[in-house]
Amino acid sequence: MSRAILQVMIRGRVQGVGYRAWVEYQATASGLEGWVRNRRDGSVEALFAGPPKLVADMVALCRHGPPSSHVDNVTSETASADELNLRRAGEVFSVLPTV
């Protein structure tokens, strides 16, 4: 089975609106691995790993976000399996501290 790993940057009104919790819920419900975190520049960064279709669907969801958010831009790039090591030990999907 093939596997995709994408690192995603989301910009807009995405902090202080429950965006990270929403990403965690959506990714977990989709069976994806990865993490999400705020960045000091006001963006949200996430990494999704799993079947290519599910990863692509998650990136598409990120373009809309939860109702209280306003997404201006979403970019993604291929990431390595090493990036998954940022997750907390024992977690499939983690909400990480701000960087």
Active site residues per annotation? 20, 38
User: What type of residue is 60?
Assistant: A
Q: Distance between CA 1 and CA 3 in Å, rounded?
A: 7
Pairing between β-strand 44-50 and β-strand 33-38 as defined by DSSP bridges: antiparallel
Residue of 41, 10, 46 lying closest to 30 (CA atoms): 46
Burial bucket for residue 31 (CB in 10 Å: 0-12, 13-18, 19+): exposed
